Amino acid sequence: MHGDNHVARIEVPMPQMGESIAEGTVSRWLKQVGDAVERDEPILEISTDKVDAEIPAPQSGTLVEVAVEEGETVEVGTIVAYIDTEGGQASSADDSDEGDEAGDDPDGEDEDPSPEQETAPESDEDEKEDEKEAETDSRSQGEEDEPESAEERLKQRSTPVVRRMAEEHGVELSEVTGSGHAGRVTKQDLLDHMEKAEAAPDASEEPAEEKAADRKEKAAPARSEGRPATAAPSELWKTFYGEVQHPEFPVRDADRVETMDKIRRLTAEHMVVAKRIVPHVHSFIEIDFTRIDRIRRENKKKWSEQGARVSFTAFVTWAISRVLRDFPMVNATASGNNIIYRGNVNVGIAVDLDPGLIVPVIRDADHLSLVGIGSKVMDLAERARSRRLSPDEIQGATFSITNPGVLGTMVGLPIIPKGTAGILGTGAIEKRVVVVEDPETGEDSIAIRKRSIFSLGYDHRIVDGADAARFLYALKEMLEGFPEDA
């Protein structure tokens, strides 16, 4: 009867909203437990990497369980809800049908079974069934109507990745304190537990030897099953490159403490990870915008009649997209011991949200005209500030541009976004007194020119300093000799 009870139950996972998004936050549940839902009807709102999205029901039925509450952040793939496609009743203490199947106990759906349930004669048989289901990674979190041990409940409150890590390292999940929803053991909980276990034996030699032998003994089955002996370092690198835990500092009397909002928290995590991954180097060059300024003034009326606005950023984006064709190492990314040379030129444009920052992407920018890029820049910026971007519009950048100069900054040293090899920082375009050389006579003179300082941040693993210098010089020539018919 137990197996038939849940055969119609399907899982609703946290979806993958983009290639670089690893987690999502449940912003709001649009449906409540017990509500009927139709296929493709939105049942909850999530927030991932600054973009909000509604998640539809994969099938019609009844929402019978909510596994992740509003405001909680979970990894992609985590089950957030269950839907009964046969319209079964929701899990609750008042569900008499479920109570009958749990042994005629109206409270059989309580999350924590009573002592009588735990010592019932059939508990051994039920625990064996739970163990079998856990080994095959079947989802049994929703099956709260049968007695189970505390150890099994903890196993059910962890992801398959965490259970596999625990098995590989010989760690019993029942010994790990979970910080996740309803006591779920997260990967960070497991890593913290392992780190403490490694440090604990230092107190005395004899226990250290015993524990080391015990760990070796527990790890032996994992190796005998053909798993690589390098599993531990691999997990450590994954944590180093994928998870961030900020240090905490004492609060003084006159201080004010505020919890980071989602945008600030994600920005902080992404910046830390980006600096961990890429060895940053920056080079600088000064660009003369006198010619571009003239082209803008002469065409402003014509572009306005076409409904287009072409900013200085549009000129820079057009030029960058063309120069990147000749410098594939700047339009690439390091992947393990390989280099991926991107086949498209997708330029990310940083947009100030005040507060916060978002980087929408102009795809295949090298195929667009100057006016086309100008229209794209304005459209993406406006929709970014009104939070109307779709997830795919902030994914897939191969190079980025940020413009701190719009606020008067002379130059900046931007951080390279993860998964790319370069970012251009544009300084303020200002009138400056400079020495210019007459191309015909070679004589020097003093003139007033509109100029800006650009910085190129690049990944020194795959971009050499000379390559960066040549890239900037090519960009300088492209901008200072900008074509009239771009």
Question: What mean pLDDT do residues 281-299 have?
Answer: 97
Are residues 135 and 90 part of one domain? Answer: yes
What's the Cα-to-Cα distance from 299 to each of 99, 111, 315, 344, 396, rounded to whole Å? 76, 69, 13, 29, 32
Are residues 175 and 124 part of one domain? Answer: no
Domain boundary residue, one of 122, 153, 184: 153
pLDDT of res. 150: 42
**Given the residues 107, 214, 364, 464, the one annotated as active site:** 464
pTM, two decimals, is 0.60
Question: What mean pLDDT do residues 43-48 have?
Answer: 84
| Beta carbons of 178 and 157 less than 8 angstroms apart | yes
pLDDT of res. 14: 87
Are residues 358 and 285 part of one domain? Answer: yes
**Given the residues 126, 282, 460, 467, the one annotated as active site:** 460
**pLDDT at 88 > cutoff 60:** no
CATH number at residue 164: 4.10.320.10
Active site residue 438: no
How many domains in the chain?
3
Question: What mean pLDDT do residues 323-336 have?
Answer: 97
Question: What mean pLDDT do residues 373-391 have?
Answer: 91
Are residues 392 and 464 part of one domain? Answer: yes
Residue 104 per-residue DSSP state: S
**pLDDT at 292 > cutoff 60:** yes
pLDDT of res. 315: 98
Are residues 348 and 235 part of one domain? Answer: no
- Within a domain: residue 432? yes
**pLDDT at 121 > cutoff 90:** no
**pLDDT at 2 > cutoff 60:** no
Are residues 307 and 203 part of one domain? Answer: no
pLDDT of res. 72: 87
pLDDT of res. 344: 97
Burial of 213 (0-12, 13-18, 19+ CB in 10 A): exposed
Domain boundary residue, one of 106, 129, 153: 153
Active site residue 181: no
CATH number at residue 427: 3.30.559.10
341-356: per-residue pLDDT in tens?
999 999 999 999 888 8
389-401: per-residue pLDDT in tens?
888 899 999 999 9
Burial of 447 (0-12, 13-18, 19+ CB in 10 A): exposed
**Higher pLDDT residue, 225 or 7?**
7
As a whole number of Å, the end-to-end CA separation of the chain is 72
Question: What mean pLDDT do residues 32-38 have?
Answer: 92
Question: What mean pLDDT do residues 52-71 have?
Answer: 88
Task: Lowest mean pLDDT of 148-152, 285-289, 301-305, name the range.
Answer: 148-152
**pLDDT at 148 > cutoff 50:** no
- Within a domain: residue 173? yes
**Higher pLDDT residue, 232 or 114?**
232
444 token code pair? 């020097």
Are residues 448 and 334 part of one domain? Answer: yes
Are residues 162 and 140 part of one domain? Answer: no
Question: Which secondary-structure segment (H or E) carries 274?
Answer: helix 262-277
- Within a domain: residue 252? no
Domain boundary residue, one of 214, 243, 272: 243
**pLDDT at 18 > cutoff 70:** no
Are residues 126 and 161 part of one domain? Answer: no
Are residues 71 and 219 part of one domain? Answer: no
Are residues 135 and 74 part of one domain? Answer: yes
Task: Lowest mean pLDDT of 154-168, 328-342, 433-447, name the range.
Answer: 154-168
pLDDT band at residue 118 using 50, 70 and 90 as cut-offs: very low
- Within a domain: residue 267? no
- Within a domain: residue 258? no
pLDDT band at residue 209 using 50, 70 and 90 as cut-offs: very low
Average pLDDT across the chain, whole number: 79
| Beta carbons of 102 and 118 less than 8 angstroms apart | no
pLDDT of res. 216: 45
pLDDT of res. 19: 57
**pLDDT at 321 > cutoff 80:** yes
**pLDDT at 300 > cutoff 80:** yes
Domain that holds residue 147: 2-153
197-208: per-residue pLDDT in tens?
766 544 444 444
Are residues 426 and 332 part of one domain? Answer: yes
pLDDT band at residue 89 using 50, 70 and 90 as cut-offs: low
**Higher pLDDT residue, 58 or 188?**
58
CATH number at residue 120: 2.40.50.100
Residues in the chain: 486
pLDDT of res. 75: 86
Residue 98 makes CB contacts below 8 A (sequence gap 6+) with 5, 89, 91, 92, 108, 109, 145
